[in-house]
């Protein structure tokens, strides 16, 4: 049985992790002194650890991350950065809101990744030995943390003084 679809799926999420880490760097650089910067510092090691899980799963399939996908992820992050600058050149609350929303979308997708892999692991031995329940719970906790920062950024961005 070929695992091409699984490898493609994992490579897409691996490339997405490149973009997520870049967004965290961006948030920390632009908003490092507040709650958003603290969130970025807290999430970075978790995202890096999850990325290692993806790398190990790809290795178990005798595959590796795809350079074109990684380049696309990098280009996507640079496009996001340009969009954020155009929307809010002062790196203010709208800038932060949109960056944090991108993270929220990514974490939602990542949670879906872990649940899909968990549901498929009985049929694919290479997916075993991973604590998907822990990773799913971690994604839910990340989403809660991100949502708190997102709501604060939304209140600031939509304030009449913004």
Per-residue pLDDT reduced to its tens digit, 132-152: 999 999 999 999 999 999 999
What are the distances in angstroms from CA 1 to CA 16, 97, 124, 130? Answer: 26, 44, 10, 21
Domain ranges of the chain: 4-157
Would you call 61 helix, strand, or coil by DSSP? coil
The SS3 call for residue 154 is helix
Please report the pLDDT score of residue 68 as a whole number. Answer: 55
CA–chain centroid gap for 64, Å, is 19
**pLDDT one-digit tens code per residue, 59-92:** 888 866 555 555 555 555 555 565 555 555 555 7
Mean pLDDT of the region 103-122? 96
User: Where in 27-78 does DSSP place strands (E)?
Assistant: none
For the chain, the average pLDDT equals: 86
pTM (predicted TM-score): 0.84
Quickly state the pLDDT bin for 3 (edges 50, 70, 90).
Answer: confident
């Amino acid at each position: 049985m070929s695992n091409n679809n699984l490898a493609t799926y994992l490579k897409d999420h691996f490339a997405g992790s490149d973009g997520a880490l870049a967004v965290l760097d961006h948030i920390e650089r632009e908003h490092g002194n507040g709650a958003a910067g603290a969130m970025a510092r807290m999430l970075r090691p978790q995202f890096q650890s999850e990325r290692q899980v993806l790398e190990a799963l790809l290795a178990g399939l005798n595959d590796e991350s795809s350079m074109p996908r990684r380049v696309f992820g990098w280009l996507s992050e640079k496009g996001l950065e340009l969009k954020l600058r155009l929307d809010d050149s002062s790196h203010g609350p709208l800038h932060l809101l949109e960056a944090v929303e991108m993270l929220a979308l990514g974490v939602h997708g990542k949670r879906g990744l872990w649940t899909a892999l968990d549901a498929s692991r009985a049929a694919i031995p290479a997916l075993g030995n991973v604590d998907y329940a822990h990773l799913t719970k971690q994604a839910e906790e990340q989403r809660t943390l991100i949502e708190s920062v997102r709501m604060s950024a939304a209140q600031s961005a939509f304030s009449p003084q913004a």
